[in-house]
Structure 1
Amino acid sequence: MMDGFFEGLGKKAGETYNKSRWLYDSLLGTEAESITSEYKLGRQMSKEITAESNLVKIDFIDVLYKRLTAWINSPHRFTCAVIRSSEVNAFVLPGGFIFLTDAIVEHCKHNENELAFIIAHEMGHVVKGHTFNRMVAEHSIQVVSKWIRAGGLLEAAAKQVALKFLKMQYSRDNEHEADDFGIRLAKAAGCDPKGAVRMFERLKALGESDIPEYFSTHPSFDSRIAQIKETALRRR
């Protein structure tokens, strides 16, 4: 996922990281402390990504993600930015920092209903705890947890942690749960669930070699289309 782009992250990602207190608070603190720690970690990762990227201003994306967040009953503070990249991709960092590439916006032909589902899907990963669990489960974080007990810092591993986190895949159950959350949220915000169905049907018609990696690493299109239709019907 985004291998070529993230190889360009500089060493300063490791130089500016805060102490590893975030993981201690996230695992052993209160729910509020956990969310705050997750946000701080994601904010730092977001700073490193934006420092190495060309941001693209697309006004309707800003309006769209804010419309979606207005319907979420969650303490997470979401942001959404578009970065210039030839890779068709979208991802969310711990704490709710969402990134779309301009290539995925073009791939969806700036269609609001399709992009609302993609953004809401990424939000679902945060609200359902997938993003944080993915971070903690990463082997590098298991190593860092040992450093915490020894009073170590995250500085030496920041870049590696960010790279490995973004290359990891969610489980199939996580993806289906995020799809369910995404379609319900998009529909609540006034978007048409059929947009997501059309997007997947269009992708399904492509040859396997032509399917963008962002979509190819997820569950099958047939299972996702069936779930989206079922969810949309159930929520009428």
Structure 2
Amino acid sequence: MRFFLLAILPLLLVGCDQTPTGRDQLALVPESMMADFGRQTFVQMQQQLPVGTGESARRKVQCVAEHLISRIPARFPGATMPTTWEVVLFADSTPNAFALPGGKIGVNEGLLKVAQSDDQLAAVVGHEIAHVLAKHGNERLTQELGIKTVLFIVGLFSEGDADTENIRQALGVGAYLGIALPFSRSHEQEADAMGLELMASAGFDPLQSIQLWRNMAAAGGAQPMEFLSTHPNHDSRIKALEERMGNTLPLYHQASPVNCER
């Protein structure tokens, strides 16, 4: 036990960090390994899911993502981010999007029926990018696999293999590739806050994030009670977004409006 504690102490000290919002975080998996996990998962998705063929939709998704990514260094200067990003539109009717470590962003065509404008699409993509910037996948993988298993994964012990399905779930991707899984409530709320700042500073109207979730509520129908779900329910989410507008709207007013419909 003493050897185990001595072995993990340096990694624990390195892993204790703060997210871009200042929340304390324990994320023990090296970022290079998380990037590999993200890239491998994305390759699997591209092999199993058809890519969308609509050129205008593809350009729109690429445009929105590029504007958001361009604002990351200024908005969250301390956040670790990939040097390059790949954005893919998938021919899937499920209204989902996701971002993975290693700079991979996927958007399902079904989302474009719910996110009915550039601004609403930016609310979703900005939220997903925020999960990556805040290392939520790393944090969840550390929690779900446990410290000792993480140490096996990073090679401090001689046995133990990473569970592929646990890794996918930690990254927010389900067993059926393309189905996004909910992060914890705290992760979702943090990604909402960061995504809202990011979209506003990039020139997307943050008020449209509220309309997006109203669209989601209309498309999704009845939801389970909030305490039974890790996702905030739509009403709670909308209320939290409304409360953040006082700090977020000035960022939008200082930015140049974006038009990705051209």
Q: Per the shorter chain, which TM-score range? A: 0.7 to 0.9
Question: 1:81 pairs with 69, 85, 88, which one?
Answer: 88
Give the 3 Å change call, closer, same or farther, for CA 140–169 of structure 1 in structure 2: farther
Give the 3 Å change call, closer, same or farther, for CA 55–152 of structure 1 in structure 2: farther
**Cα distance in structure 2, aligned partners of 1:128 and 1:201:** 26
SS in 2 for 1:56: coil
Give the 3 Å change call, closer, same or farther, for CA 87–113 of structure 1 in structure 2: same
Decide which moves more: 162-171 or 119-128: 162-171
Give the 3 Å change call, closer, same or farther, for CA 223–56 of structure 1 in structure 2: same
Whether the aligned pair in 1 keeps the contact of 2:42 and 2:104 (CA below 8 Å) is yes
CA deviation digits over 1:78-109, x for unaligned, max 9?
43222122322122223342211111122223
**Structure 1: gaps (5+ residues):** 1-25
- Residue number in structure 1 paired with 2:194: 181
TM-score by length of 2: 0.66
- Residue number in structure 2 paired with 1:170: 183
Are 1:117 and 2:123 counterparts?
A: yes
1:114 aligned partner, one-letter code? Q
The equivalences for 1:129-208 within 5 A come to 129-139=135-145, 143=149, 145-146=151-152, 148-152=155-159, 154=161, 157-158=163-164, 160-165=165-170, 166-167=173-174, 169-205=182-218, 208=221
- Residue number in structure 2 paired with 1:91: 98
Q: State the structure with bigger RCO (CA 8 A, min sep 6), 1 or 2.
A: 1
**Cα distance in structure 1, aligned partners of 2:221 and 2:182:** 19
What number of residue pairs does the alignment pair up? 204
Give the 3 Å change call, closer, same or farther, for CA 55–140 of structure 1 in structure 2: farther
**Cα distance in structure 2, aligned partners of 1:39 and 1:72:** 18
**Structure 2: gaps (5+ residues):** 1-10, 18-28, 74-78, 175-180, 251-262
SS in 1 for 2:71: coil
Decide which moves more: 180-189 or 56-65: 56-65
**Cα distance in structure 1, aligned partners of 2:45 and 2:220:** 32
Give the 3 Å change call, closer, same or farther, for CA 189–94 of structure 1 in structure 2: same
Shift of 1:228: 1.6
**Cα distance in structure 1, aligned partners of 2:49 and 2:102:** 20
**Cα distance in structure 1, aligned partners of 2:223 and 2:14:** 45
**Cα distance in structure 2, aligned partners of 1:141 and 1:103:** 38
Whether the aligned pair in 1 keeps the contact of 2:71 and 2:202 (CA below 8 Å) is yes
**Cα distance in structure 2, aligned partners of 1:226 and 1:123:** 22
Give the 3 Å change call, closer, same or farther, for CA 60–141 of structure 1 in structure 2: farther
**Cα distance in structure 1, aligned partners of 2:12 and 2:41:** 19
**Cα distance in structure 2, aligned partners of 1:196 and 1:152:** 46
**Cα distance in structure 1, aligned partners of 2:43 and 2:213:** 32
Structure of higher CA gyration radius: 2
RMSD: 3.2
**Cα distance in structure 1, aligned partners of 2:38 and 2:122:** 22
**Cα distance in structure 1, aligned partners of 2:156 and 2:91:** 40
Whether the aligned pair in 2 keeps the contact of 1:136 and 1:142 (CA below 8 Å) is no
- Residue number in structure 2 paired with 1:6: none
Give the 3 Å change call, closer, same or farther, for CA 138–94 of structure 1 in structure 2: farther
- Residue number in structure 1 paired with 2:42: 46
**Cα distance in structure 1, aligned partners of 2:112 and 2:218:** 19
